Structure 1
Amino acid sequence: MGKFELTGIPPAPRGVPQIEVTFDLDANGIMNVSALEKGTGKTNKIVITNDKGRLSKEEIERMLAEAEKYKEEDEAEAARIQAKNGLESYAYSLKNTIQDEKVAEKIEAGEKEKLQAKIDETVSWIDDNQTATKDEYESQQKELEGVANPIMVKIYGQGAEGGMPGGAGGAGAAPGGQGGDDGPTVEEVD
Structure 2
Amino acid sequence: PPAPRGVPQIEVTFDIDANGIVNVSAKDKGTGKEHQIRIQASGGLSDADIEKMVKDAEANAEADKKRRAVVEARNQAEALVHSSEKSLKEYGDKVSEADRTAIADAIAALKAATEGDD
- The bucket for the TM-score relative to the shorter chain is 0.7 to 0.9
Gaps in structure 1 of 5+ consecutive residues:
1-9, 133-190
TM-score by length of 2: 0.78
Cα distance in 1 for partners of 2:100, 2:33 equals 39
| Distance across 2 between alignment mates of 1:90 and 1:21 | 26
Larger Rg: 1
Find out whether 1:92 has 2:82 as its counterpart. Answer: yes
Greater per-residue strand proportion:
2
Q: Which residue of 2 aligns with 1:112?
A: 100
Distance 1:82 1:11, change over 3 A: closer
Normalised to the residue count of structure 1, the TM-score between the two structures is: 0.52
Q: Show the counterpart of 2:23.
A: 32
Aligned length: 117
Alignment equivalent of 2:36, drawn from 45, 51, 59 = 45
| Greater share of residues in helix | 2
Q: Name the structure 2 match of 1:15.
A: 6
RMSD: 2.4
Q: Which runs of 5+ in 2 are unaligned?
A: none
Q: Distance in 2 between matches of 1:66 and 1:89?
A: 33
Sequence identity (%): 40
Q: Distance in 1 between matches of 2:94 and 2:41?
A: 58
In structure 2, C-alpha distance between the alignment counterparts of 1:95 and 1:112, rounded to whole Å: 11
Cα distance 1:116–1:43, how it changes in 2: closer, same or farther (>3 A)? Answer: farther
